[in-house]
Chains A and B, each alone.
Chain A
Amino acid sequence: MSITGKEIIRVEGLNKTFKTSQGKIVALDDINLSINEGEIFGIIGLSGAGKSTLVRCINLLEKPTEGKVIFDGQNLTDLKSKELLKARQSIGMIFQNFNLLEQRTAIKNICYPMEIAGFSKKDTLKRAEELLELVGLSDRAKSYPSQLSGGQKQRVAIARALATNPKVLLCDEATSALDPNTTQSILSLLKEINRTLKVTVIIITHEMSVIEKVCNRVAVIDNSKIVEIGDVKKIFTNPESEIAKQLILPKWESRVKLVSDRSLRLIFDGNSSFEPIISNMALKFGVSVNILFADTRNIDGKAFGQMLIQLPEDENAVSRIKAYLDSRNIAYKEESLDV
């Protein structure tokens, strides 16, 4: 990854209201975003939150009601329609349902954007072959979409989106129609593209696991608004918004409600090594702690994630536990949990 720190997309005060027969629907409410060149940026939220509307506003498939979308220094909302069409050639997009031309072969699908952009026939074919190679489908050039699996279709779609050398690739739920293994392979491909071709990738999803696997930063969108934005690591270890907590810790609420005692939330942010701290506590102080919730993982020998433990009655034991945690470099936060 090569995040240059240079801004590639800025969204300012973006509003989108749909007028329907049932009245106005506010799909986006004062969205402000800045996305850097070379990063993989995630946008997560529940269904109906406004994610698709937001990406569609970024390439102006949807005209914002208010606000600006600045791509690579130019304000897209100001462009004439011809200039906008040209700008779109620098913004690739892939979709949940792949949206390939059904009556064209895989290779002809990849040729399509180059035909539109006015590449010569020879260049078009050559580049299409290279792209097929890049997505690992050289042997399926002559296949029609109906003859390909979902994962293969998405690979063709990715190749097609990259054909005109875009600076940004927008992915709207690109893996939501795929099984976990295929999802993994598509995510790896996106990561590789980001690394080798220096394409900024924007990933829309409702699955935290997708964000966790590939994104550098994430914006959490709820009810038409961005409620939280920041490094993926930070939001994973310390989600602030209700919705982020819900997405990261799906069963948090229900588990917590079972107990009423004081409890301690341990936060593993990569500063401590991955070690069995709970059994160490038990061995060292003879206190046994009750784990209410745990979602930790070992990344390069460092611990990431969260754990919620129930504290013992004994104040002394509590302070010893805290001292131990301090010594292990583990952050914690005491929480009183109301039933």
Chain B
Amino acid sequence: MFDEQIRQLLLTGVWETLKMTVISTLLAYIFGLPIGILLNLTDKNGIKPCLVVNKILGFIVNLLRSVPFLILLVTILPFTRAIVGTTIGSTATIVPLVVAAAPFVGRMVESSLQEVDSGVIEAAQSMGTPVFKIIYKVLLPEAKPSLLVGSAITITTILGYSAMAGFVGGGGLGAIAINYGYYRYQTDIMLVTVILLVIIVQVFQETGMRIAKLSDKRQK
């Protein structure tokens, strides 16, 4: 259907998109998971209530989440350059993706942890579990299925953002769709990139949900 050059281009696009999405998701969790845990712990019904921390952290999270992604991307360009040395290409896109996704992940994690039955936490406390062990032996394992669902949603959201970043010099399938489809009117290439994006989203979402379901011991 396309010549070798275009095929190579699309292949590179898929690879870059996957790379950006997966790396950004991992980094977003590295920052977002502690944020979510902290939000959950310091909540007034959490195991270490602390209103000040909770409110300040919540405010920052809300602030970052309310800035539209493209504006955030442009705003933090100096920050991006400082970290990766460039502002274009797929590696540069990872920085704003992580900044945008980490607070989102924080909220996702917070709400997953909130689903853990307070009675179970109380039982753990009654057995003398210190806070740190409640987190990794009770909260995280008990919330695992919900956390996995959250990560499937996160990864597809990040994928969507990464495509958007194509508009302003990001790499991957999004950039191809913009450059060939939008600027050069090569509708067929745009269509194929969109189809590829749809397929990737479906695969991520489906696999994530399936793993979440399999890992859940509550129904069987």
Asked if chains A and B come from one complex, the reply is yes
Q: B-contacting residues of A (Cβ < 8 Å)?
A: 59, 61, 82, 84-89, 91-93, 95, 97, 99-104, 112-113, 115-117, 144-147, 157, 160-161, 164, 170
- Residues in A with CB closer than 8 Å to B125 are 61, 88
Give, as a whole number of angstroms, the nearest-CB distance from B143 to chain A.
9
Could you list 12 further interchain pairs (A-B, Cβ under 8 angstroms) beyond the known A103-B142, A104-B217, A146-B217? Answer: A61-B122, A85-B128, A85-B129, A88-B127, A93-B127, A95-B119, A95-B123, A99-B117, A102-B120, A112-B127, A144-B217, A170-B126
Nearest residue in B to A164 (C-beta to C-beta)? Answer: B127
Contacts of A93 in B (CB 8 A): 123, 126-127
- A333 to B219 alpha-carbon distance, docked (Å): 59
Total number of residue pairs linking A and B with CB closer than 8 Å: 79
Contact code string B161-178 (vs A, CB < 8 Å = 1, else 0): 000000000000000000
Chain A residues contacting B144 (CB-CB under 8 Å) are 103
Whether A113 contacts B142 by the Cβ 8 Å rule is: no
Out of B119, B123, B145, B220, which one reaches A146, CB within 8 Å? B220
Query: Size range of the interface on B?
Result: 20 to 34
Interface flag for B78 (CB, 8 Å) = no
Residues in A neighbouring B124, C-beta threshold 8 A: 112
CB of B211, distance to nearest CB on chain A (Å): 14
State the CA gap A232–B142 with chains docked (Å): 41
Which residues of B have CB within 8 Å of A144?
217-218, 220
Which of B126, B141, B216 is the one whose CB lies under 8 Å from A101?
A: B141
Q: Are B119 and A102 in contact (CB under 8 A)?
A: no
Q: Does B138 contact A (CB under 8 A)?
A: yes
B137 proximal to A (CB < 8 A): yes
Binary CB contact string for chain B from 121 to 163 against chain A (1 if under 8 A, 0 otherwise) = 0111111111001000110011011000000000000000000
Give the one of B117, B125, B128, B129 with max A CB within 10 A.
B128
Would you list which residues of chain B between 176 and 220 have a CB under 8 Å from chain A?
216-220
Nearest residue in A to B143 (C-beta to C-beta)?
Answer: A103
Give CA–CA (A160, B122) in the complex, Å. 14
For B123, what are the chain A residues with a Cβ–Cβ distance below 8 Å? 93, 95, 99-100, 157
Q: Judge whether B218 and A146 touch: CB under 8 Å.
A: yes
Cα distance A203–B220 when bound, in Å? Answer: 33
When distances are taken between beta carbons in the complex, the residues of chain B under 8 Å from A117 are 128
Shortest Cβ gap from B48 to chain A (Å): 11
Q: A146-B220, A147-B220 are in contact. Are A116 and B141 (CB under 8 A)?
A: no
Question: How close is A17's CB to chain B, nearest CB, in angstroms?
Answer: 18
Interfacial chain B residues near A170, Cβ < 8 Å: 126
Give chain A nearest CB distance to B130 CB in angstroms.
Answer: 6
Chain A residues closer than 8 Å to B216, beta-carbon distance: 103
* Contact between chains at B137 and A115 (CB < 8 Å): yes
Q: Mark B36-79, 1 if CB is under 8 A from A, else 0.
A: 00000000000000000000000000000000000000000000
Known: A102-B217, A103-B144, A146-B219. A97 touches B126 (CB 8 A): no
Q: Report the bound CA distance from A117 to B137 in whole Å.
A: 13
**Interfacial residues of chain B within 96-117, with CB under 8 A of chain A in the complex:** 117
Which residues from chain B contact A89 at a C-beta distance below 8 Å? 127-128
In the assembly, what is the distance between CA of A100 and CA of B128, in Å? 15
Residues of A within 8 A of B120 (CB): 99-102
- The distance in angstroms between the C-alpha atoms of A144 and B218, with both chains bound, is 8
Q: Which of B126, B141, B142 contacts A59 (CB 8 A)?
A: B126
For the complex of A and B, 10 pairs with smallest distance between CB atoms = A88-B128, A99-B123, A85-B128, A93-B126, A99-B119, A144-B217, A113-B127, A89-B128, A146-B218, A99-B120
Q: Which residues of B contact A61 (CB under 8 A)?
A: 122, 125-126
* Distance of B132 from chain A, by nearest CB (Å): 11
Q: Contact between A101 and B128 (Cβ–Cβ < 8 Å)? A: no
Note all chain B residues with C-beta closer than 8 A to A102: 117, 120, 142, 217-218
B220–A101 touching, CB < 8 Å: no
Cα distance, A187 to B137, chains bound together (Å): 31
A86, A95, A101, A160: the one contacting B142 at CB < 8 Å is: A101
CB distance from A145 to the nearest CB of B (A): 8
Expressed in whole angstroms, the Cα–Cα distance for A100 and B116 within the complex equals 11
Question: Please, how many angstroms separate the alpha-carbon atoms of A263 and B159 in the complex?
Answer: 84
Q: A86 contacts B128, CB within 8 Å?
A: yes
Q: Using Cβ atoms and an 8 Å threshold, which residues of chain A touch B137?
A: 112, 115-116
22 A–B contact pairs at CB < 8 A? A61-B126, A86-B128, A88-B128, A92-B126, A92-B127, A95-B119, A97-B117, A99-B119, A99-B122, A100-B123, A101-B120, A101-B138, A101-B142, A102-B142, A103-B142, A103-B144, A103-B145, A103-B216, A116-B127, A144-B217, A147-B220, A170-B126
Which residues of the partner chain B approach A101 to less than 8 Å between Cβ atoms?
120, 138, 141-142
Q: Counting chain B CB atoms within 10 Å of each CB, which of A82, A86, A88, A157 scores highest?
A: A88
In the complex, are the beta carbons of B217 and A91 less than 8 A apart? no
Q: A144-B220, A146-B219 are in contact. Are A116 and B128 (CB under 8 A)?
A: yes
A240 CA to B25 CA, complexed, in Å: 67
Chain B nearest CB, measured from A177 CB (Å): 12
